[in-house]
Amino acid sequence: MQRSFGQQLDLNDKYDGTTARRHEVLNMITTHPPTLASQYAIATLTDIVQHRQSVTWTHHLYTMAHNRIPRTLSIGDSITNVHNFLFQQARFASTKPQAADNTKQIAMVTTGIVGATGLAYMAANQVSANMADEGLHPPAYPWYHKDPFHTFDHAAIRRGYQVYREVCSACHSLDRIAWRNLINVSHSEDEVKAMAEEVEYEDGPDDNGDMFQRPGKPSDYMPKPYANEEAARAGNAGALPPDLSLMIKARHGGEDYVFSLLTGYVDAPAGVEVREGLNYNPYFPGGAIAMARVLFDGLVEYEDGTPATASQMARDVTTFLAWAAEPEHDDRKKMGMKAAIVLSGLTLLSVYIKRFKWAPIKSRKIVYNPPQ
């Protein structure tokens, strides 16, 4: 059935980009008279560009129409001109989806590179998602000396030193603290001298070149529990007890970590195996610590009558170690308070001088009246 020219130019019906419609378009060009075929070819080429069809299909349509329509017809030259113009537009239009695809590809490649770099960093640093490897984060406790206007609790420092001397000093040293550091902090000068004299220190050489033992003096440092590192390891199944002078500053969490560690000994949960000779403590990295629990209720007898519970002893010895890590804490806060008062006074004085002394001078107006 032959269709009318109006039906043939109904592009919405004839050309939808499918293979079947393309064959029908080619059939219309090859079977109809040259004049009608050329008009249909021009309309179809225009529709191709509007619908952004492929350049290959545009060139194929032009070749078929060019071979079918004689060059003697003026309409044939029109097909050539339309093809050349629309072919360039079709090529330009065909590059837009490719540019969008390239953008997506660049984004995917960039994401892949960033992800691979992150995985390589995690693998190189052996980052573990298991919180047991890092230890349980300790809770924050309201330490008295943490307030900017408070000093150390010196009664707690005295009790803490007693806990260290009777319990902790059997394994841990305090190399950076001398006896004299306790004077007027937790003990009087006479008490410090008496405690120092209880310890024998090697001194010398004497006139004969021999070393000798003498009673301690306030200038001497706290005695070490072991002569050397090898002796310390031999007495603790291969584990080396750390020095406690800077322990509060050396551990993440500070006082909170030490207090939680001393009071955090519990039985290992189901599924967790602890080697023989180790003890389970969730606050210690890895969960297994060589130091056994050492604080029990009533272990020491405080001089001031404070109940010696495990938590009280842990609090006191932690306060003592915080002071040992920062003996200048109280003096620093006092100096800061004095500096704040002095600087505040100087600031007010500067404002006063600026306002009442310099303001009239800076705001005055000098007028020169020449003689007449």
| Token pair belonging to 344 | 């505040």
DSSP string, 69-83: S-TTSHHHHHHHHHH
Q: Is 114 helix (H, G, I), strand (E, B) or coil?
A: helix
For helices 19-31 and 55-68, give the axis angle rounded to 10 degrees: 20
Q: Is 290 helix (H, G, I), strand (E, B) or coil?
A: coil
Q: Where are the alpha helices (DSSP H) in 167-228?
A: 189-197
| Token pair belonging to 71 | 């060059």
Q: Is 172 among the annotated ligand-binding positions?
A: yes
Q: Which residues contact 60 (CB under 8 A, 6 or more apart)?
A: none
Task: Using the structure block, give the residue that is written with the tokens 């007028």.
Answer: 367
Q: Which residues pair with 178 in a beta bridge?
A: 221
Q: Say if CB 286 and CB 135 are below 8 A apart.
A: yes
Give the amino acid at 13: D
Cα distance between residue 223 and residue 178, in whole Å: 9
Q: Say if CB 308 and CB 300 are below 8 A apart.
A: yes
Q: Is 171 among the annotated ligand-binding positions?
A: yes
Q: Is 303 helix (H, G, I), strand (E, B) or coil?
A: coil
- CA 355 to each of CA 160, 180, 364: distance values in angstroms, whole numbers, following the listed order: 54, 52, 14
Q: Which residues contact 62 (CB under 8 A, 6 or more apart)?
A: 41, 45, 79, 83, 87
Q: Is 150 among the annotated ligand-binding positions?
A: no
- CA 288 to each of CA 252, 281, 292, 310: distance values in angstroms, whole numbers, following the listed order: 18, 6, 10, 21
- CA 51 to each of CA 11, 18, 40, 245: distance values in angstroms, whole numbers, following the listed order: 11, 12, 16, 81
- Binding-site residues: 168, 171-172, 291
- Binding-site residues for heme c: 168, 171-172, 291
